[in-house]
Amino acid sequence: MDENKDKKIIKSPYYSLEKLSEDSSLVKRGLRDLSIWPKIEELFKKLKSQYEAEKYPDCIITAEEILKTDSNHFFTLCYFARSLYFVERYEEALKILERCLEDEKEYYFLWSFRGDVYYKMGKYLETINDYDEALRLELYEVWCQVTGDEKKAGFPQYSPEYANAPTKPKASSFWENEDDSGSQEEIFYFRKAQFYLSTRGAIYNEFKENDIGKKRAVEALKRVIDINPSNWFAVNQIVEALDFLAEKQRGVNNQEAFTYIDTALHYDPNNTNLLISKAILLYHLGEKERAVELISMVKEKYPDHDGVDFIYKKINDLE
């Protein structure tokens, strides 16, 4: 395994286990762990040092030694799970993270970590659900930092007061702010796409003008698919986003709408609805011959499709 693949994730100030172990919201957990701290202090320092040096197999050995003393040492479990992730022991990492989440459901890092594990396991729906929960909790944390409000457990999924406030905090999420050197791993771009596709009020409102969020998501998804063409979930997402952008331009800028549809067809060349849209746009752009050729091909391939037959007749001036 390439141990440098996720280097950016580790170094991000918003994605650091060092920050997790120092977070004030976990004071109770930290105090409980301190009761046995003299027994494991040196080992825990060693674990953190190994993690920072990206020596994940060594981290696992040290974490297992600590857990022999206290099998529920929370911060060790977090380092343990993340190290298991980096050495591609995903099933084991998942079990550890689920243990952590039983105790700390309000901590967004844990949801992000579990989302990463699900992604590596190809469980994309579970991935985006966990990323969304991480983003919800992170936005709430940022909101409290900006407003001075006290964090409350069980923050609701939707708060009209928060979503419609006149001054909304910008998310400090690693999904947007992390530097893109152009050589990131697939998961980096997938995570970034989910950030821009989010319907969370503070994110959606920040990037809805000129559909900039959708456009940035498309660019991120292109990178995902370039790296992993078999990622069917990313393909579905980019096609949906491009179709959305095309629909917004239809009748306003048909040439731009055509470009979006044509790009979507690059990823899903047999999509009947996209082919119909392309034929219609060709017709409106004055390229009737190409439109007739395309819709005839689609009609031949899908003779029982009512939508194809209707457009075929329109383009051929049969109605």
By C-alpha distance, which of 123, 156, 178 is closest to 8? 178
What's the CATH number where 308 sits?
1.25.40.10
Q: Find the helix packing angle between 56-69 and 74-86, rounded to 10°.
A: 150
Same structural domain for residues 75 and 110? no
Q: Which of 58, 85, 104 is the last residue of a domain?
A: 104
- The reply to whether 203 and 240 lie within a common domain is no
Residues 78 and 110 in one domain: no
Q: What is the pTM of this model?
A: 0.78
**In terms of domains, do 277 and 309 share one?**
yes
Q: Given this model, what pLDDT does residue 155 score? A: 47
Q: Cα separations (Å) of 54 from 10, 192, 229, 255?
A: 9, 23, 29, 49
Sequence-distant contacts of 264-267: CB under 8 A, at least 24 apart: 264/238, 264/239, 267/225, 267/235, 267/238, 267/239, 267/242
How far is 209 from 206, CA to CA, in rounded Å?
A: 8
Per DSSP, the three-state class of 68 is helix
Q: Is residue 254 part of a domain?
A: yes
The tokens for 4 are: 């440098």
DSSP state, 15?
G
Q: Write the DSSP assignment of 267-308 as a string of letters.
A: H-TT-HHHHHHHHHHHHHTT-HHHHHHHHHHHHHH-TT-HHH
Q: Quick one: average pLDDT of 57-68?
A: 95
- Same domain? 261 vs 238: yes
Angle (deg, nearest 10), helices 27-34 and 74-86: 100
Tell me how crowded residue 250 is: count the other CB atoms within 10 A of its CB.
18
pLDDT above 70: residue 212: yes
Q: Which of 53-62, 193-202, 296-305, 309-318 holds the top average pLDDT?
A: 53-62
Let me know if residue 214 belongs to a domain.
Answer: no
Residue type, position 28, single letter = K
Do 204 and 114 have their domain in common?
yes
Cβ(218)–Cβ(241) under 8 Å? yes
Inter-residue contact 51 to 129 (CB < 8 Å)? no
Q: Are 186 and 285 in a shared domain? A: no
Domains in the chain, number: 3
- Structural domain contains residue 67: yes
In a shared domain, residues 51 and 63: yes
Q: Please say which residue of 195, 224, 253 terminates a domain.
A: 224
- pLDDT for the residue 22: 53
88 in the same domain as 143: no
Co-location of 100 and 10 in the same domain: yes
Same domain, 57 and 121: no
Compute the CA torsion angle 98, 102, 108, 111 (nearest 10 deg): 20
pLDDT (tens digit per residue) in 95-145: 999 999 998 888 888 999 999 999 999 999 999 999 999 988 887 666 556
The answer to the question of residue 311 being in a domain is yes
Are 147 and 109 in a shared domain? yes
Residue-wise pLDDT tens digits, 116-128: 999 999 999 999 9
> Residue 30: its pLDDT value, please?
53
Among 85, 104, 123, give the residue marking a domain's end: 104
Say how many Å lie between the first and final Cα of the chain, rounded.
61
Phi-psi region of 148 (alpha: psi -120 to 50; beta: other; left: phi over 0): left
Any idea which of 52-56, 176-180, 244-248 has the lowest mean pLDDT? 176-180
- The H or E element spanning position 263 is helix 254-267
Q: Which domain holds residue 198?
A: 105-209+219-224
Task: State the burial class of residue 38 (Cβ atoms within 10 Å of its Cβ: 0-12, 13-18, 19+).
Answer: exposed
